[in-house]
Amino acid sequence: VQLQASGGGLVQAGGSLRLSCAASGITFSLYASGWFRQAPGKEREFVAAISRSAGRTYYADSVKGRFTISRDNAMNTVYLQMNTLKPEDTAVYYCAAVRSYNRDYVPGGQGGMDYWGKGTLVTVSS
């Protein structure tokens, strides 16, 4: 099983980035998925999550209204569109997946995730 995150980079404050996470080795449509991040010197935190059906999403308050999570099950990929980026969004972003027996289940935290990707670095300059 592999979750490969990509799309990170350096961007100025106010800019946008789109992260992608491609899954392999699992039937991705059976997994809810989420994005998490870890800033330097801080613990990893929840960012956003999406149900396996894509019918439900959930966001951390800090990114609500600026970030959008989506998925394409045919492409085995989950996305994170990040707009109006702030320096405090600087972090390594990780994607994760959890087997979901309820098509509308949305994980609200990082506990219980089955698989994790290696992360992609997002740096937002002021």
DSSP annotation string for 18-46: EEEEEEESS-GGGEEEEEEEE-TTS--EE
Pairing relationship of beta strands 91-99 and 115-116 according to DSSP bridges:
antiparallel
Q: Which residues share a beta bridge with 45?
A: 37
Of 43, 35, 33, 32, nearest to 6 by C-alpha is 35
CA atoms within a 13 Å half-sphere pointing along the CA-CB vector of 95: 31
> Would the pLDDT of 94 be above 90?
yes
Mean pLDDT of the chain, nearest integer: 96
Q: In Å, how far are 32, 79, 94, 118 from 71, measured between CA atoms?
A: 10, 6, 15, 19
**And the tokens for 104?**
């509308």
> Would the pLDDT of 96 be above 90?
yes
Q: What is the pLDDT of residue 7?
A: 98
DSSP state, residue 51:
-
- Per residue in 107-126, pLDDT tens? 987 778 999 999 999 999 99
Of 58, 44, 63, nearest to 108 by C-alpha is 58
Arithmetic mean of pLDDT, 90-108: 95
